[in-house]
Amino acid sequence: MAQMKLNIVTPEGSVYDDQAKMITVRTIDGDRGIMPHHEPLITGVDIGPIKIKEDSDELHLAASHGYMEVTPEEVTILVDTAEFADEIDVERAEEAKKRAEDRLNKGNDNINERRAEIALQKAINRLRVTKGRNFE
């Protein structure tokens, strides 16, 4: 099966730079599967999982907002954060989820509701990726 170059980059640097057979990404338009020779595309990436199919492995990442550029031979994903499932600290993600839920439930005028919602989405995404429940 054909492969394409995939580069996932955060402000800290490259997270993944290798060949892939298929990539599934949560975009602002919904989940998209990308295979080699895909038509050119530029789109926004939403908080969600990224699934990478290699020769015999399947890798899962939790990603935040960003952009994706697709050419027939290469995919570049630029996101604020991207973590492989086995690198996620589950306890920390649970604590972040609880903090975000508490902020939203208090209805305090001093909090930025949108920031709390984003924090909650990121925590839920990180937990889903660790449990293999990527695209629900």
Structural domain that includes position 48: 4-85
Q: Within a domain: residue 136?
A: no
- Closest by alpha carbon to 10, among 91, 105, 103, 82? 82
pLDDT in tens, the chain (136 residues): 789 999 999 999 999 999 999 999 999 999 999 999 999 999 999 999 999 999 888 999 999 999 999 999 999 999 999 999 999 999 999 999 998 888 888 766 666 788 888 989 999 999 999 987 665 5
Q: Within a domain: residue 135?
A: no
Residue 133: CB partners within 8 Å, gap ≥ 6? Answer: none
Give the number of domains in the chain: 2
